Structure 1
Amino acid sequence: MNRNIILSCITLAAFSLGSCEDFLDKEPLSLVVPTEYYKDEAQIQAAVNKLYTEVLPSHTNWSFGIFGLDSGTDNQVGFNPDVKYAKGQWKVALENDNWNWENIHNINYSLKQSLTNYNNKEVTGSEKNIRQYIGELYFLRAYAYFTMLQKWGDLPIVKEDLPLDEEYLIEMNKRSPRNEVARFILEDLGHAVEYMSDNFDTRKNRISPDVAKLLKSRVALFEASWLENFKGTAFVPNGEGWPGKSKDYNTSYEYPLGTIDKEIEFFLNEAVASAETVAEKYKNSLTQNTGKVPQSEDDPDNPYFSMFGNTDMSTFPDVLLWREYSKGLGVVNNVEVGIQHGNNGVGLTRSMVESFVMKDGKPHYAPHTGFVYDDETLAKIRENADPRLHIFLKEPDQKNLFKNMTSQETHGVEVEPYPDITNMNAEKGYSTGYTIRKGGTFDKDLCGNGNGYTGAVVFRATEALLNYMEAQYLLTRDLNSGKIMEYWKLIREAAGFEGTAVNPTTMIDATEMDKEVLDWGAYTAGTLLQDKVLYNIRRERRCELMAEGLRWMDLLRWRAMDQMITTPYHVEGFHLWNTPMQNWYEAEDLVDDGSSSATVSNVNLGEYLRPFEKNMTSGNLYRDGFVWSMAHYLEPLPIKQFQLTSSDRVTVEQSILYQNPYWPLKADSPAEK
């Protein structure tokens, strides 16, 4: 038995098969950290600090950071599409690094040692500090589990540091129904709130009770939405074809409250309660968008703009948790360099841009007083747009830099150029023609390649208002119930809307669902929503949280991709053909012959740039658009895990595990449905 492998991978029980090769050179905490280590508050803090970077999202280097996490959705795309949007290309793997329990194991070990020593009064230091760090461990386990829940659904619930016992380890692989996993996450977040203190860290670099409550609302809304939208299918416990029924330990499963509908109601009530607690605390201190983009040192600051691009986010009241970077310490990122060019190749889609309403609060296709919607130039799009789109959508000739202009950093671009859509270079190319400056600072000193230090917002309070609105509406189907209208108006006021545009009914009444078909969030289970209130709650969420890394989570829980099973989706960028923007490029650079050397899509496919339909040869799997398979809502468990947890360590059918819906038990095989 290889002790290192087993404990690094927890439930993999890799006795003689040698799984998790990536971790062979990495001892688990239980082997390298003596139990005495957790007897001082500074030691517990050190263990927790390392887990922050392992578990929570941040601006990773050589990328667009958090602002690029929505790439591969209908909001943003890069140069290379994801295999999940091509038929038969996503396949069951022999091994999968996403089925990785290392973080959860390390948290469990740290939590066990810290709690044991704390309860035995063997930890020296401040009682308040010790409890804070224990609460943070509970939070981090909850966050790590929620990340796994979104990928896998049903999961083993592992609360302890596991012993070196083969049969026990195999037993611990039993997958609990997904709603039980979500309940466990909520329980951990409850413990986190109990242990942590308000205002523990005024710089807001550490997790707080408010952050735990916000995550609780997120998790509860996610699970309620999933159970509701996948009700009756193989993706929920006891639904038709649910694979959990194939194992005796889940055969007789019953929901804690008796029915799936009561379970949905439970999670919605949890989401409402947790979200309201946070929303009430911060609703009157949401950072205000002035609607202006600073273009010189003399221009007034726009707090809403600056909130996302700053080296110190502690002064923004609605930023609940942020990660600080330091050039001196070598903790750096590449976000500002990405904003100087094409967002590291991650461009907004036409769908995202058109999801924003206009400054009068009405969708772009509605009649407007004093103007008409015009997308023939980027300047025209911004002119009468939602104030959030107005400040974040880049256009040529805007100043990108005007601060610290004597800095020696070399990767800044003082004036925004025409988007280079023919350049496939990830640093300077523009994948769709639409790019954002969300996270921008105008500071040349932050433009060192791989050497920037812009902070990263991890949680902000506005999400609590959005979570409340959706959960409360799903409970009541009444726009005027609870505090939906109050919170919605507050969000729109902070976003910079004025007059009747603040009232969401202006947007709702002018919405025509058959004109919202580019938005995946306009669908559930392959059907276009007819509930315009629900759709516009989704729309508001999409626009407010643009490029903050939450879009894929929302699309999953809304079951928003079924329509692509029968109707391919064509990703589009900006309005290239037959507009003034076509004249930004030399004719010889716009190669649209459909060959493998084409630089743009052909006008016969439409006037909007189709970034994945430039090459129309048989070698391009996406030349006819994106398609979907039902199985792709969850990842396939890797085959090695079935072998390791089977009675003979070989036969996958004898494993204590079960595969996710419509994925086969054979490596290198695509989804069955």
Structure 2
Amino acid sequence: MKRYITYTAGISIVLSLFSSCKKFVETDPRGQFTQEGYYRNQAEVFNGLVAAYDPLGFQGGDYVSKITAMNAGSDDNLAGGGGSSDFTPLQAISNYSLIPANGPQDALWKGGFLGVYRVNILLSKIDAATMPDDIRARYKAELKALRAYYYFDLVRLFKNIPLMLTPVEPDQAYNVLQVAPEAVYVQIEKDLKEAIAEEKLPNLVPLKTEAGRITKGIAHALLGKVYLYEKKYTESAAELALVNGVPGELNAVYGYKLLDDFASLWKATNKFNTESILEISHTSKGNGAWSCIECTEGNLLSIMLAPRAYSTLLPGAPDYISGYGAIIVTKNFFDFIHLDPRNKASVANLDSLKKAGIAKYDNSYENTGFFVEKFAGRASDRSTGGGNAELNYPQNTYEIRLADTYLMEAEAIVLGGGNLSRARALIAAVRNRAYKDGKDHAIDATLENIITERRAELAFEGQRWFDLIRWGKAATVLASKGFIAGKHEILPIPLKELENTKLVQSKEWGGTK
């Protein structure tokens, strides 16, 4: 059976990995080619490269993305929505009622392996394409870094996964076997090291034409993060130091610098700024429609996080849109953050607006009165183009930003017995930017201080759940949500991936792997 590829300006995902061989990529038809006859030249290879990047921003048709799922599973958020049956995959991780047949794992597995599949297809074809060798070398480095990214997410989320480095035909997919997680990490390191070693992979890219593409700085940041999760603290600190440079100053090699104003990070127009390292791109020009929520290139967070039935009562009220009231903020987090200068840029206190008669909204399920401000949908950002406006908000999200790498390096230094003076300076740079009062807010470089600082700085960015697992604190911190030690540190392999395949469920979930 032949598979077909159709390309236009945008790319929409319709592959159901390991279950269908009908079509691989599909958009509005404007020329159709069999996969076997495609990737012949630079233009066709570039289309394939775009397709390999696309799953970075994968959002499932049930509104599940990595950031929504990991936030819902953390102590900082609840699934919210209209009731206990609203956003059921997110409810399942929010209250730890996960089972292999219900939870965010279907979308996260699909999105991750979709990325792997597309990378492997292009890597298998690119050497035969007619194109300049220097461009080919750059593309291959980008693809290897992307594959490392996808596998890093998959191994953290599921632990026991297949490791596929070449295209797997649909009729072979049912025989794929899992490997030890250590083998996956070896390959992740290898891919990133090879990407970094490629001289054609640039340190910087022109933002007008190439914003969001993999650079050496991104590859170093990813490798440093991977090392941190592997407890290779000396190696992690060394990689991250290359990214961070002198704390608080411009890294001229990669162009990174903390922004002066924390709140400006969350303006929808402030894309690919100097603090951004790896950024997930969204647009209001993708014409996303209800007929294929999964296909939209807009940011679904904007409509998901917005308060239900929100409306203003007085002039000057925030111009939030009315949305689904999902991924609400816990009272525990509000109590933690409310005296921190990052509070108002992080949390929207709808309860206070309602009590003051400034605005009104309908309560979410398990309502706390607190919502996510960082990614709140604004009427001023509403799309006026094609498609359904609710699905086409343009705000990007950060996968890695400089404040994150500062704190990761500090953590690696502390745990690896490194230079505590540098760790202290890294933490101070993040804190001084937050307080913005000209005073020195340096604190001791301890793991507990780093834990506190990461929670305040990176709230709602999808990092907290992974952090708690890495620190071994999830069982204690998430106990009130139903987290069970020895089980919920990973997600179950989706039930439908186990049916009629050789994949085996993890021991944590009653399997034998």
TM-score, normalising length from structure 2? Answer: 0.73
Larger Rg: 1
Question: Aligned partner of 2:460: which letter?
Answer: A
SS at match of 2:372: coil
Distance 2:66 2:99 in 1: 27
Alignment partner, residue 182 of structure 2: 179
Offset, 1:336 = 4.8
Alignment partner, residue 20 of structure 2: 23
Alignment partner, residue 326 of structure 2: 345
Does structure 2 retain, via aligned residues, the 8 Å contact 1:308–1:457? Answer: no
> Structure 2 stretches of 5 or more lacking a match?
4-15, 27-31, 85-89, 251-256, 288-296, 307-319, 384-388
Does structure 1 retain, via aligned residues, the 8 Å contact 2:350–2:370? Answer: no
Does structure 1 retain, via aligned residues, the 8 Å contact 2:487–2:508? Answer: yes
1:221-232 correspondence to structure 2 within 5 Å: 221-224=228-231
Offset, 1:348 = 1.3
Alignment partner, residue 348 of structure 2: 394
SS at match of 1:134: helix
Q: In the alignment, which of 259, 273, 276 is matched to residue 241 of structure 2?
A: 276
Aligned residues: 443
Relative distance call for 1:163 and 1:452 in structure 2 (3 A) is closer
Relative distance call for 1:130 and 1:288 in structure 2 (3 A) is same
Question: Aligned partner of 1:276: which letter?
Answer: A
The question of 1:209 aligning with 2:216 is answered: yes
Does structure 2 retain, via aligned residues, the 8 Å contact 1:395–1:416? Answer: no
Does structure 2 retain, via aligned residues, the 8 Å contact 1:86–1:628? Answer: no
Distance 2:100 2:302 in 1: 37
Offset, 1:397 = 10
Alignment partner, residue 661 of structure 1: 507
Larger deviation, residues 180-189 vs 31-40: 31-40
Offset, 1:99 = 4.8
Alignment partner, residue 391 of structure 2: 450
Alignment partner, residue 254 of structure 1: none
Alignment partner, residue 534 of structure 1: 447
Offset, 1:325 = 4.0
SS at match of 2:71: coil
1:371-390 correspondence to structure 2 within 5 Å: 381=338, 385-390=339-344
Residue deviations 1:70-127 (CA, integer Å, cap 9, x gap): 123101112247435768x53345997455444322211211211x33xxxx5324x4
Offset, 1:66 = 4.7
Relative distance call for 1:108 and 1:32 in structure 2 (3 A) is farther
Does structure 1 retain, via aligned residues, the 8 Å contact 2:79–2:327? Answer: yes
Offset, 1:346 = 2.0
Alignment partner, residue 409 of structure 1: none
Offset, 1:460 = 1.5
Alignment partner, residue 311 of structure 2: none
Alignment partner, residue 503 of structure 1: 442
Distance 1:639 1:3 in 2: 28
Question: Aligned partner of 2:429: which letter?
Answer: L
Relative distance call for 1:398 and 1:46 in structure 2 (3 A) is farther
Does structure 1 retain, via aligned residues, the 8 Å contact 2:346–2:459? Answer: no
TM-score, normalising length from structure 1? Answer: 0.57
Offset, 1:498 = 4.3
The question of 1:636 aligning with 2:489 is answered: no
Offset, 1:499 = 6.5
Question: Aligned partner of 1:537: which letter?
Answer: I
SS at match of 2:279: strand
Does structure 1 retain, via aligned residues, the 8 Å contact 2:279–2:400? Answer: yes
Alignment partner, residue 71 of structure 1: 72
Relative distance call for 1:484 and 1:59 in structure 2 (3 A) is farther
Residue deviations 1:293-318 (CA, integer Å, cap 9, x gap): xxxxxxxxxx432222222423x211
Distance 1:440 1:20 in 2: 32
Does structure 1 retain, via aligned residues, the 8 Å contact 2:74–2:94? Answer: no
Distance 2:91 2:44 in 1: 42
Distance 1:156 1:63 in 2: 22
Does structure 2 retain, via aligned residues, the 8 Å contact 1:105–1:161? Answer: yes
Distance 1:148 1:437 in 2: 28
Does structure 2 retain, via aligned residues, the 8 Å contact 1:342–1:419? Answer: no
Question: Aligned partner of 1:444: which letter?
Answer: S
Question: Aligned partner of 1:221: which letter?
Answer: L
Question: Aligned partner of 1:390: which letter?
Answer: K
The question of 1:475 aligning with 2:454 is answered: no
Alignment partner, residue 431 of structure 1: 367
Offset, 1:188 = 0.8
Offset, 1:48 = 1.4
Distance 2:22 2:171 in 1: 22
Offset, 1:395 = 3.8
Relative distance call for 1:564 and 1:504 in structure 2 (3 A) is closer
Alignment partner, residue 606 of structure 1: none
Offset, 1:143 = 1.2
Question: Aligned partner of 1:433: which letter?
Answer: G
The question of 1:310 aligning with 2:254 is answered: no
Offset, 1:25 = 3.5
Distance 2:280 2:158 in 1: 28
Q: In the alignment, which of 186, 189, 194 is matched to residue 192 of structure 2?
A: 189
Distance 1:99 1:440 in 2: 27
Distance 1:74 1:112 in 2: 43
Distance 1:148 1:663 in 2: 16
Alignment partner, residue 198 of structure 1: 203
Distance 2:334 2:226 in 1: 28
Residue deviations 1:312-349 (CA, integer Å, cap 9, x gap): 423x2111243444434424335555451577322211
Residue deviations 1:539-594 (CA, integer Å, cap 9, x gap): 111111111111222122223233379xx51xxxxxxxxxxxxxxxxxxxxxxxxx
The structure carrying a bigger strand percent of its residues is 2
Alignment partner, residue 298 of structure 2: 332
Offset, 1:638 = 5.4
SS at match of 1:435: strand
Distance 1:179 1:416 in 2: 54
Question: Aligned partner of 1:452: which letter?
Answer: Y
1:538-549 correspondence to structure 2 within 5 Å: 538-549=451-462
Distance 2:449 2:358 in 1: 33
1:253-268 correspondence to structure 2 within 5 Å: 267-268=232-233
Alignment partner, residue 247 of structure 1: none
Alignment partner, residue 149 of structure 2: 143
Does structure 2 retain, via aligned residues, the 8 Å contact 1:104–1:141? Answer: yes
Distance 1:28 1:419 in 2: 40
Alignment partner, residue 579 of structure 1: none
Question: Aligned partner of 1:173: which letter?
Answer: L
1:104-119 correspondence to structure 2 within 5 Å: 104-114=116-126, 116-117=127-128
> Structure 1 stretches of 5 or more lacking a match?
5-18, 225-266, 290-302, 357-380, 400-414, 425-429, 509-532, 570-624, 646-654, 667-673
